[in-house]
Structures are given as structure tokens and as C-alpha cells.
Chain A
């Protein structure tokens, strides 16, 4: 079967410039919205899931959904810290485990208003566990046992009195900011200090969670099963990655739903527009089609040409949509981690994966929009078509 030359399809699009442009930009806007939602979700995932480590485990009180709800008394935390065979040790044989306190504290933002900032009290072992993950970029680390804190870089920019040398008052206790740190994951949004000092200042009688690094051969599932109904210290054990995924599940799910909802609804409108455009193209080309048919092109070939034209429209719309969405890349935005009620800042990430999906979506729109006109084109009667002007 002889196909209608590709050039014909291209020229058809070019001849009907205004309709082509309007359709392409309309589809483009739709695709851009989808790409925007997808890249928002990507940015979110990148922050949380990508930085959870598989070799770290988080111990929470059974039933607790987040560390804010979890609590371990001193003696229970002590057992977790010192008596687990699965936990890795440092060169001198001390377990790489740290009891931490966690509280979302109300602090004032530089641009006015208040926000909840997570304050984490840690033991020195935390820094051994996170060696290489936490980078002090200004000042120095806090001294164990002292009223000093270090602050994540984004926090130091957003929050008042959070630069090196400032004094940050927690309840009634003043803490001196001595350093700024960076972390590629969510820890970047926190303030860190000595866990015992934090517990005193914030009047917290308990630790919130225990963090430990496992030996390479340790079985997380077995450890989790054993501690689940442990008499002495019942605990919920998750790898850090699992823990972070659970933290963001709700928001991530909401974003995915939003993306799906918008894609279906706006996609419907875009398909309607595409169909309109192609039907109009068909109507103005009936005579031409008659000529093509009478020179021996099969109806199938005509049909394919129309479908191809519609797919090209979709492709162009996809490209325009991607171009519209690209400037979003890196734009910082913020929302709240509803599990802990703390602010998380993250950036849109327009990844190749997002672009591929956006273009794929645009092609589907093109395909759907072209189907009906293509069927109509194939059904034209040659003599009748030739007669029409």
C-alpha cells in the first residue's frame, strides 16, 4: 500500500498555521500542567525517598506513625542502644546507635509569621552514623553537653536568629547557633543540638526514636519481627528509607491523584480541541482527498495520513508543553509534612523521565484526537469528494 508522502502531512499543518498554532499551544498548556505536577512530585520524592538509607534502621514505639508520636523511656532506649547484635560498631567496639529527641518548635520566619521547625537532639554517635552525609559549611559543630545548636542551611535563611553567632531561645533556654550544615535530604530543614540539653530545655521526659546503623549481614525483617512483641522493649523497626517513604506517602499520593485528575480532565478538553481541528482540516480538504483517492491512494493510507498529522500536532504540543514546564526546574516551593506538621522545602525537578511522560501523554492526546477524523476521512466516497469544493 502506497503511503501518503510525509511532506503532504507536514505541509498541511503549515498551510493551516493559525489552527495548528492554537491547537499546539492549547495542548501545550495541558501538557505543561501535567509536567508541572509530575516534576513537583519528583522533587518531593528526590528529597525524601532518595535519601533514606537501607543500612540505617529507625526504632519507634509500636503504633507510632512518626517520630513525633513515638517515645522511649531512658531504660528502654538504653537497651536498644547497647544490646542489639545486629547493630554495627565503630573501631573501638561501641555500637553505632543514637537516641534522638524530636519536636516541631514554633519559630519566627525572617519574612514574618511563624512556622514549625523540627528541633532534633542527637547523641555524638549520630555524626558517626551520618559521616559524609552531614556537612558543616559554616562555623563548627556543637559541643556535646553544651547549649549550642547547628542549623540546616535553608532554615538559617528562612528563620530569624538562626545565623552563626545568633541566640535561638527554645522555651526559656537560650541556645547559641555555632554552625550551619547541609544535607541533601530532609535533615536539611532541621536544627540540631545535644539531646540531653534539648530534653531539659523543652521539658521532654523521653527520647523519641533510636537510630542505628546495621551490620552488613543483619536481617532487618528478622529484627523487626523479634522486637515487635518484645517483652522488654517492644519497638517498630523500619529502615530509614521505609520510614521516610511512610512519612511522605500521603502528600505523594495526593500529588499523584492531582496529576491523574488533571491529566484526565484537561486531556479530555485537549482531545476535543484536537478532534475539532482535524475535522476542520478534513472539511477543507475533501476535494484534495478526492484527488488522492482517484490517483490510487487507498482509504487506509489517507486515514493514516490524518492520524499522523494529529500525532504530529500532539508531538508539537508535547514539545511546547515541555518548553513551558522547563523554567519550573529548580523553583523552590514549600509545604508541610502532615505527619510531623513541619515545613519542608523542595524544588520542582523537571527530569528526563517527566519530559518523556509528558510527551507520551501529548502523543496519546494526538492519537485520540485524530481517530474520529481519520475514520471519517477513510469513509469518503471518491467521486463525491471530487465534486465538493
Chain B
């Protein structure tokens, strides 16, 4: 009975209901997208593997480490694998087509990064191929590369002597089970990288960007970190060994004030939308003074009149929230693909969905309060006399 009344009230001003619902849709959509962005910015820390450690130069992100460090690191107790991992920094045809490429020790890479799952081609073919490359699914789709293709990459940090491109043969494509380890990465052999550099620039050009280690189960990471750091305390390049989470954190903190700024925007959206909802409910309340008077005269109690407003607002805003979340879900994949080179991990979490819905319902409750209280206090005689 009263639900039917709510429905009637909502339909009494269809345009207004639709517009109000529409602004809630927009707001919830925006809040979900902003929150997902903020979460994604930090996701590489959350999703980091606890058993991976990174050895980097303590001087600078841009200073590579000597190749001679690898056998020394391997001597440290508790380490399963040590692989070279060198940022290549190239692009495909145009600097706009930028994505991550790393030269790696291919043999142990799958052990260190078990979240990779080869879905096309084979890992063995990649291992066997001198110029072979292992690429992520998104990358393959974006540039329509498939197994067997030869891919030219222009090196900005490591240009070829003839000014041309490095060429890699796609041998395998991986899917990632870890949202923070994106599918827009190209991995190729460190041996091939060294081979070319040695021939074109001489042996002194050889180095590794960082070393990534997988530690044995049950090993205390801090012990390993201290032991590795101690190896190179007196140079030639001092190192700093950290967990993968710490390593990623240095990139995340680079976003600086951006997460705070996005949160502020979210706050403003919330504020604007709350005002809009209050506005609508006040209008509804004002217009209905006379009808409410009639209802009360017919015997509707204060409580049910109060509830009527609250339910109406919650239904209206809740519907807006649902549609808003649905829109956010709809754009999730396109945004994730567009951002994946800069910022992997754009995933609409359950938490964000619930937060979006909670905000919508909350806004409805608050907005209903003033007119609902006014309506419950309304004296039928005055209401019937009122001119609106």
C-alpha cells in the first residue's frame, strides 16, 4: 500500500525524478571512478609479492649495477633465484606508443613471476629464441601483435648504432593473475641486450638495471636485505635492497599530491550532489503540503508520513546509485586498458561498489530528513489551508 504511494509520488513529477536520479547516477559514477583511481595508484604496493626483493643502486634509480654483482648476490643464503631486470625505455614507431620493456634473465623469470600464465605460444620457444620476446595480453591486443610477429622497438636510452630499431620476435603471450603486474609489458633476453651493447658500445656499457630475487620460503627478508647491502657497502656502486612493495612505493609516492587532490574532488562531488538531492526533496515536500494534510486528515500517522519521504528519497537515490555503479562497471575495462601503461590495477573493487551505493542511500536519507520531519509535524488543518 505505502510502496504504491511512494511510486505514485515519484511519478507525480517524472521529469524531476529522472533528473534527480540522473544527477545521483553521475555523482556515484564519478565517485567510483575517482576512488578506483586512488586505489589503483596504490595497488602496486598492495599487490606486491612478499617473497620478491629488489636490489637497486642506492644512488639513483638511473644508475645501473655491474654485472659482476649477480654471482655475489647468489652466494647469499636464502635466495632461490636472482634475475637481471633492466628498464629498456623504448617505443614502437612513435614516442606516443610508450609501454614498459625489460631485458631479463629469461630462464628464471617464470619462477620469480609465477603470476604470469602463458596463454599463446610457448615459454620454451621464447627461451630458445635469441631475439625472442614475451609480451602481455593487452599489449598484443593494442598493437595487434601475435606469436611469430617481428616487432621493431626504438631505444631511447639504448639507441642502435645505425639509428634503427631493435627487433624482437614475439614467441609467447602472457595473461597476468596479478592486477598490479600489468599485461602491457614486453620482456626480452638480457643476453641479447648484452650481445648488442657489447658489439656496438663496448664491454664497459654492460650493466643491469636492478636485480630481482625470489627468496626461499621461511627466509626472513630483512636478513637477506642486510646481507646483500653489506656486500657492496664500499662501492663501486652502493646498493639498497628492498621488498617489492617498498620498491613500488617509491613510484607511488611520486604521484605526490595527486591522490589527495582527487579525494578533494570526490568530496566536492559529494557536497554538490547532497545539495541537489536536498533541493529535490524540499521541492517535493513543499508541493505536497496540501496532499499530506489530506492524508493526515484521513488518518495517516506522523510516523508513516515520515517514512514515506524517507523511502521515496532512498528509492530515488538508491536507483541512481545502482545505475551509477553500473556505468562505472561499464567503463572499467576501457579505462583500465587506456591507463595500463601508466597505472595498472584499475579495478572496480567490491568495496568501491558498496561505498558508491552507501553514498547514494546516505544522500537520500539526509536529503529526506528536513521535509520528512516537517511533514510528520504538519498539522492537518494548517496544511489544508496552505497555499502552495
**Given A18-B279, A266-B272, 10 extra CB contacts under 8 A:** A22-B278, A22-B282, A69-B156, A104-B60, A202-B59, A265-B30, A268-B23, A280-B283, A280-B287, A284-B287
C-beta contact mask, A176-201 vs B, less than 8 Å → 1, else 0? 00000000000000000000000000
B19 and A276 within 8 A (CB): yes
CB < 8 Å: which of B257, B271, B280, B387 contacts A389? B387
Q: Which of A56-64, A88-96, A127-135 contacts B (4 or more CB under 8 A)?
A: A56-64
CB of A65 within 8 A of chain B? Answer: yes
A334 and B279 within 8 A (CB): no
In Å, the complex CA distance between A172 and B268 comes to 49
B235 and A22 within 8 A (CB): no
B276 and A22 within 8 A (CB): yes
B250 and A114 within 8 A (CB): yes
Q: Which residues of A contact B154 (CB under 8 A)?
A: 63
C-beta contact mask, B320-339 vs A, less than 8 Å → 1, else 0? 00000000000000000000
CB distance from B253 to the nearest CB of A (A): 6
Q: Which residues of A contact B235 (CB under 8 A)?
A: 171-172
CB of A270 within 8 A of chain B? Answer: yes
User: 10 A-B pairs, CB-CB below 8 angstroms?
Assistant: A29-B269, A36-B264, A36-B265, A104-B62, A269-B23, A269-B26, A273-B279, A276-B283, A280-B283, A336-B255
CB of B29 within 8 A of chain A? Answer: yes
B279 and A33 within 8 A (CB): no
B238 and A171 within 8 A (CB): yes
Knowing A106-B60, A341-B61, the reply to whether A115 touches B19 (Cβ < 8 A) is no
Chain A CB within 10 Å, residue with most, of B20, B62, B237, B287: B62
Q: Which residues of B contact A172 (CB under 8 A)?
A: 234-235, 238
A26 and B276 within 8 A (CB): yes
CB of B22 within 8 A of chain A? Answer: yes
CB of A275 within 8 A of chain B? Answer: yes
B residues with a Cβ closer than 8 A to A are 15-16, 19-20, 22-23, 26-27, 29-30, 57-63, 89, 95, 154-157, 159, 163, 204, 234-238, 240, 250, 253-258, 261, 264-265, 268-269, 271-273, 275-276, 278-280, 282-283, 286-287, 342, 387-388
Q: Which residues of A contact B264 (CB under 8 A)?
A: 36
B159 and A335 within 8 A (CB): no
Q: Which residues of A contact B163 (CB under 8 A)?
A: 62-63
Q: Which residues of A contact B269 (CB under 8 A)?
A: 29, 33, 266
In Å, the complex CA distance between A282 and B81 comes to 74
Knowing A116-B60, A170-B59, A334-B256, the reply to whether A266 touches B30 (Cβ < 8 A) is yes
| Interface residues in A, total, Cβ within 8 A | 58
Q: Which residues of A contact B89 (CB under 8 A)?
A: 69
In Å, the complex CA distance between A65 and B272 comes to 42
> Inter-chain contact count A-B, CB under 8 Å?
162
CB of A103 within 8 A of chain B? Answer: yes
CB of A371 within 8 A of chain B? Answer: no
CB of A279 within 8 A of chain B? Answer: yes
In Å, the complex CA distance between A341 and B256 comes to 12
CB < 8 Å: which of A69, A265, A272, A335 contacts B258? A335
CB distance from A367 to the nearest CB of B (A): 16
In Å, the complex CA distance between A189 and B58 comes to 20
Nearest A-chain residue to B91, judged by Cβ: A65
B276 and A341 within 8 A (CB): no
C-beta contact mask, A198-229 vs B, less than 8 Å → 1, else 0? 00001101000000000000000000000000
CB distance from B316 to the nearest CB of A (A): 12
Nearest B-chain residue to A103, judged by Cβ: B60
CB < 8 Å: which of B255, B279, B286 contacts A276? B279
Chain A CB within 10 Å, residue with most, of B22, B58, B60, B278: B60
Q: Which residues of B contact A23 (CB under 8 A)?
A: 275, 279
CB of A333 within 8 A of chain B? Answer: yes
CB < 8 Å: which of A65, A272, A335, A336 contacts B276? A272
A33 and B265 within 8 A (CB): yes
A25 and B257 within 8 A (CB): no
CB of A343 within 8 A of chain B? Answer: yes
Q: Which residues of B contact A272 (CB under 8 A)?
A: 19-20, 22-23, 26, 276
Chain A CB within 10 Å, residue with most, of B253, B273, B276: B276
CB of A32 within 8 A of chain B? Answer: yes
A276 and B63 within 8 A (CB): no
Chain A CB within 10 Å, residue with most, of B265, B272, B286: B272
CB of A163 within 8 A of chain B? Answer: no
B30 and A276 within 8 A (CB): no
